[in-house]
Amino acid sequence: MDSEIKLASGAMVALGLATAALVVMPYLQVRDLKPLPGLKAYSTAELRGREVYVANGCVYCHSQQPRDRNFGSDLQRGWGRASVPADYYYDSPHQLGSMRTGPDLFNIGARQPSKDWHLGHLYQPRAYSPGSIMPSYPYLFTVKDAKEAEKEGEQPVVLPPAYAPAVGQVVVALPEALDLVKYLQALNHTYPVLPPNPQPPGVKP
């Protein structure tokens, strides 16, 4: 009986320490967090696009948390500075990710701002990144008669000739694809984390 009480007590102490270290302390550190001055709230379309991102499991292959230069070569890869908690003020649920089958997307909106590129890449990744193992998302698009699309005022997706549909047809992005691209374009965290150093009186920055 004595050993059972000791075992239970030890387990409770271990659980308490783990809870304090992994739940309580992080909460105390970020509970009063404010958004950084350069961080913008998501628009309605970007939030819809974020839902598409979540629904398609993009987090399983892409992270959104560049590491400090002391822990990897993310900065050299062009993925940007190390992220800080305030970068995620408007994110819920967070899409930090733990796998990098594909590149980190924390700053994909800065690295690749082109709407046409994103739409084409979603439709057929290998048209833009040969050898890519990213799946294509044809269900976010529809193939239509070119004249019909023009009559309805729809803008065709620009694709390399080898991946374009049959003559007289065009690929048109559905609203879900357009919203997803707006979300990806919004992933731009190139603003500074720290305010500029104060200048002495009379000295121009």
Residue 7 lies in a domain: no
Q: Is residue 196 part of a domain?
A: no
Tokens coding 78: 């062009």
- Residue 195, domain member (yes or no): no
> CATH number, domain at 125?
1.10.760.10
CB atoms near residue 169 (< 10 Å): 16
If one counts the domains in the chain, the total is: 1
pTM score of the predicted model: 0.83
Q: What is the pLDDT of residues 40-70, one digit of tens each?
A: 999 999 999 999 999 999 999 999 999 998 8
- Residue 13, domain member (yes or no): no
Each residue's pLDDT tens digit, 108-151: 999 999 999 999 999 999 999 999 999 999 999 999 999 999 88
Residue 95 falls within a domain, yes or no?
yes
